[in-house]
């Protein structure tokens, strides 16, 4: 048996997220279908996390177990030939049999892109949150810095089927920064892990700060702002 780790990029727009869902196109479902065809038996693909419907990935990490002796580079090419253009395996390597991309991840980085000008090109539209309205961006930047550190992010998490497990929603944010780059506001956050909709809810909260609706910008607010659209969010990388 061989354990194979892959790094992949995808445009999340055409998919209903990472996790397999009956009768819906998902990244995990697509990979499992292709790899099962290559292996001749069902293959389970584990991911580093479950990106939501519409969320993109620059470097998602996944792993699976195969008996097929095909060299990893040939496997990468074979899978890419069968994948749609919106998904690409960037690299593949053999790893220890016990490797799990979610349980062994040390940190993840996400990026959220807000387009601030009045007119948004149709070629940018699928990958940004178009918000041309007035915002005090310096207030947003101040609150972004206050998100660093260890916090209970319960108020910033959507309901999840794992909630029944009663696991802690305390997470550590190693870095949190919002900066202006041309017509874009770019929010980049690196942390020990992220809850369902957490980054999108943080963005909604930063926007509320920019609108002047949050008074204290030096601490994590007690309440989340509205959930920002998925299409502006990118999983940048996963660290091990």
Instruction: Specify whether the CB–CB gap between 149 and 172 falls below 8 A.
Output: yes
| Burial (0-12, 13-18, 19+ Cβ within 10 Å), 27 | buried
Interatomic CA distance for residues 100 and 122, integer angstroms:
38
Q: How many CB atoms lie within 10 A of CB 196?
A: 17
Q: Out of 11, 52, 96, 152, which one is annotated catalytic?
A: 52
Interatomic CA distance for residues 3 and 18, integer angstroms:
20
Q: Where are the alpha helices (DSSP H) in 42-123?
A: 72-82
What SS3 state is found at 14?
coil
Verify whether residue 52 is a known catalytic residue.
Answer: yes
DSSP H/E element including 52: none
Interatomic CA distance for residues 204 and 226, integer angstroms:
5
Distance set, CA 150 to CA 167, 173, 174, 178, 179 (Å)? 16, 6, 9, 19, 22
**Which residues, including other chains, have CB under 8 Å from residue 103's CB and lie 6 or more apart?**
none
Catalytic residues: 52
């Amino acid at each position: 048996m061989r354990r194979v780790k892959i790094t992949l990029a995808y445009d999340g727009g055409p998919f209903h997220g990472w996790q397999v869902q009956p009768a819906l196109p998902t990244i995990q479902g697509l990979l499992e279908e292709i790899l099962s065809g290559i292996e001749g038996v069902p293959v389970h693909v584990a991911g580093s996390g479950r990106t939501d419907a519409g969320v993109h990935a620059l470097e998602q990490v996944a792993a699976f177990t195969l008996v097929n002796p095909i060299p990893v580079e040939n496997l990468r090419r074979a899978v890419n030939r069968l994948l749609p253009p919106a998904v690409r395996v960037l690299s593949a390597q053999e790893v220890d049999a016990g490797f799990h991309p979610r349980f062994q991840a040390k940190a993840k980085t996400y990026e959220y892109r807000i387009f601030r000008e009045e007119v948004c090109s149709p070629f940018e539209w699928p990958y940004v949150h178009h918000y041309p309205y007035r915002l005090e961006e310096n207030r947003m930047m101040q609150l972004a810095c206050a998100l660093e550190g260890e916090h209970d992010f319960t108020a910033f998490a959507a309901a999840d089927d794992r909630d029944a497990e009663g696991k802690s929603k305390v997470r550590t944010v190693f870095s949190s920064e919002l900066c202006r780059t041309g017509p874009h506001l770019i929010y980049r956050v690196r942390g020990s892990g992220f809850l369902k909709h957490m980054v999108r809810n943080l963005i909604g909260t930063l926007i509320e700060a920019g609108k002047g609706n949050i008074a204290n910008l030096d601490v994590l607010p007690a309440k989340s702002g509205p959930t920002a659209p998925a299409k502006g969010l990118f999983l940048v990388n996963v660290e091990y």
